[in-house]
Structure 1
Amino acid sequence: MTSLRAAVLCLALTLSQAAVADEGTKRPNVVVILCDDMGFSDLGCYGGEVATPNLDALAAGGVRFTQFYNNARCCPTRASLLTGLYPHMAGIGHMMEDNGKPGYRGNLSSNSRTIAEVLKPAGYRTYAVGKWHVTHNAAANGPKQNWPRFRGFDRYYGTIHGAGSYFDPSSLVRDDTMISPFADPEYKPAKYYYTDAISDHATRFVADHAKDHATKPFLMYVAYTAAHWPMHALPEDIAKYRGKYDAGYGAIRKARFEKAAKLGLIDAGQGMAPNPGTWPGVADKRWEAAGMEVYAAMIDRMDQGVGKLVAELKRTGQFDNTLILFLQDNGGCAELQGRTGNKNHPNIERPASPTLPVMKPEDFAAAGSVPAQTRDGFPVRMGPKVMPGPEDTYIAYGRGWATVSNTPFREYKHWVHEGGISTPLIAHWPAGIASRGELRKQPGHLIDLAATFYDLGGAAYPKDAPPLEGKSLRPAFGDKPIDRDAIFWEHEGNRAVRVGDWKLVAKHAKPWELYDMAKDRVEANDLAAKMPEKVQELVAKYTAWAKRSQVEPWPVTASTKE
Structure 2
Amino acid sequence: MSQFHAKFTHLSRMALIPFIACIAFFLQACLATPVQAASNDCPNIVLILADDLGFSDLGCYGGEIDTPNLDRLAARGVRFTQFYNTSRCWPTRAAMLTGYYAQQVRRDVLPGVKGRGQGDRPHWAPLLPEILASAGYRSHHSGKWHIDGEPIESGFERTYYLRDLGRLFRPRTHSIDGDAIAPVTSDDDYYATSFIADRTIEFLQDHQAKFADQPFLSYVAFSVPHFPLQASPADIAKYKGRYDRGWDVMREERFAKLKRELKIPASLSPLESDIGPPYHFDNVRETFGDKEIEREIAWDELTTEQQEFQSMKMEIHAAMVDRMDHEIGRILEQVDAMGATDNTMVIFLSDNGASAELMVRGDGHDPQAANGSAETHLCLGPGFSRAANTPFRRHKTWVHEGGSATPLIVSWPANILDGGGLRDQVGHVIDLVPTIVEAATGKAPQSVTDDAPPLPGKSLLPAMTGNQDIQRDYLWWLHDGHRALRVGDFKIVSSEGHPWELYDLSLDRSECSDLAADQPGRLAAMIETWQRHADETAKVVSAINSTSKSGK
Aligned to 2:316: 294
Aligned to 1:391: 374
Q: Deviations over 1:273-328 (max 9, x none)?
A: 43632222223222211100000000000000100001000111011100000000
Question: Structure 1 residue 533 and structure 2 residue 524: aligned?
Answer: no
Which amino acid is the alignment partner of residue 486 of structure 2? R
Aligned to 1:229: 227
Aligned to 2:467: 479
Shift of 1:175: 1.3
C-alpha contact (below 8 Å) 1:88/1:549 kept by paired residues: yes
Residues 455-470 of structure 1: pairs in structure 2 closer than 5 A:
455-458=438-441, 462-464=448-450, 465-470=452-457
- The verdict on how the C-alpha distance between 1:117 and 1:238 changes in structure 2, with shifts beyond 3 A counting, is same
The root-mean-square deviation of aligned C-alpha atoms, in Å, is 2.6
C-alpha contact (below 8 Å) 1:62/1:433 kept by paired residues: yes
Shift of 1:180: 2.2
State the alpha-carbon separation in 1 of the partners of residues 253 and 118 from structure 2.
43
Q: Deviations over 1:379-416 (max 9, x none)?
A: x3257x87630000011011100010010000000100
Residues 12-161 of structure 1: pairs in structure 2 closer than 5 A:
26-94=41-109, 101=114, 104-135=117-148, 146-160=149-163
State the alpha-carbon separation in 2 of the partners of residues 314 and 246 from structure 1.
39
Question: Structure 1 residue 271 and structure 2 residue 275: aligned?
Answer: no
State the alpha-carbon separation in 1 of the partners of residues 319 and 132 from structure 2.
35
2:173 to 158, 171, 174: 171
- Report the 3-state secondary structure (helix = DSSP H, G, I; strand = E; otherwise coil) of the residue aligned with 1:415: coil
- The verdict on how the C-alpha distance between 1:22 and 1:170 changes in structure 2, with shifts beyond 3 A counting, is same
C-alpha contact (below 8 Å) 1:487/1:499 kept by paired residues: yes
Shift of 1:264: 2.4
2:350 to 325, 328, 332: 328
Which amino acid is the alignment partner of residue 51 of structure 1? D
Aligned to 2:13: none
Shift of 1:100: 8.0
Shift of 1:25: 7.4
Question: Structure 1 residue 280 and structure 2 residue 280: aligned?
Answer: no
State the alpha-carbon separation in 2 of the partners of residues 546 and 199 from structure 1.
39
2:236 to 235, 238, 252: 238
Aligned to 1:500: 488
C-alpha contact (below 8 Å) 1:129/1:201 kept by paired residues: yes
Question: Structure 1 residue 371 and structure 2 residue 362: aligned?
Answer: yes
State the alpha-carbon separation in 2 of the partners of residues 544 and 21 from structure 1.
40
Aligned to 1:342: none
Shift of 1:173: 1.7
Aligned to 1:13: none
- Report the 3-state secondary structure (helix = DSSP H, G, I; strand = E; otherwise coil) of the residue aligned with 2:224: coil
Aligned to 1:202: 200
- The verdict on how the C-alpha distance between 1:527 and 1:491 changes in structure 2, with shifts beyond 3 A counting, is same
Which protein is bigger by CA-based radius of gyration? 1
State the alpha-carbon separation in 1 of the partners of residues 496 and 113 from structure 2.
22
Residues 543-562 of structure 1: pairs in structure 2 closer than 5 A:
543-550=531-538, 562=552
- The verdict on how the C-alpha distance between 1:382 and 1:331 changes in structure 2, with shifts beyond 3 A counting, is farther
- Report the 3-state secondary structure (helix = DSSP H, G, I; strand = E; otherwise coil) of the residue aligned with 2:538: coil
Q: Deviations over 1:76-114 (max 9, x none)?
A: 00110110000011211159xxx9825824334443110
- Report the 3-state secondary structure (helix = DSSP H, G, I; strand = E; otherwise coil) of the residue aligned with 1:195: helix
State the alpha-carbon separation in 2 of the partners of residues 103 and 390 from structure 1.
34
Normalised to the residue count of structure 2, the TM-score between the two structures is: 0.83
Q: Deviations over 1:144-165 (max 9, x none)?
A: xx1011111111102246x311
- The verdict on how the C-alpha distance between 1:544 and 1:248 changes in structure 2, with shifts beyond 3 A counting, is same
In terms of mean alpha carbon deviation, does 537-546 or 168-177 score higher? 168-177
In terms of mean alpha carbon deviation, does 106-115 or 49-58 score higher? 106-115
Aligned to 1:303: 325
- The verdict on how the C-alpha distance between 1:174 and 1:323 changes in structure 2, with shifts beyond 3 A counting, is same
Residues 438-457 of structure 1: pairs in structure 2 closer than 5 A:
438-457=421-440
Q: Deviations over 1:401-452 (max 9, x none)?
A: 0010010000000100110000000000001111110100011001000001
Aligned to 2:3: none
- Report the 3-state secondary structure (helix = DSSP H, G, I; strand = E; otherwise coil) of the residue aligned with 1:196: helix
C-alpha contact (below 8 Å) 1:90/1:103 kept by paired residues: no
State the alpha-carbon separation in 1 of the partners of residues 456 and 214 from structure 2.
28
Shift of 1:463: 3.1
C-alpha contact (below 8 Å) 2:356/2:396 kept by paired residues: yes
- The verdict on how the C-alpha distance between 1:94 and 1:306 changes in structure 2, with shifts beyond 3 A counting, is farther
Shift of 1:168: 1.6
C-alpha contact (below 8 Å) 2:398/2:479 kept by paired residues: yes
- The verdict on how the C-alpha distance between 1:108 and 1:20 changes in structure 2, with shifts beyond 3 A counting, is closer
Question: Structure 1 residue 337 and structure 2 residue 320: aligned?
Answer: no
Aligned to 1:403: 386
C-alpha contact (below 8 Å) 1:226/1:299 kept by paired residues: yes
- The verdict on how the C-alpha distance between 1:189 and 1:456 changes in structure 2, with shifts beyond 3 A counting, is farther
State the alpha-carbon separation in 1 of the partners of residues 161 and 316 from structure 2.
22
C-alpha contact (below 8 Å) 1:65/1:441 kept by paired residues: yes
What are the ranges of 5 or more consecutive residues in structure 2 without an aligned counterpart?
1-18, 26-38, 273-295, 542-548
State the alpha-carbon separation in 2 of the partners of residues 34 and 149 from structure 1.
19
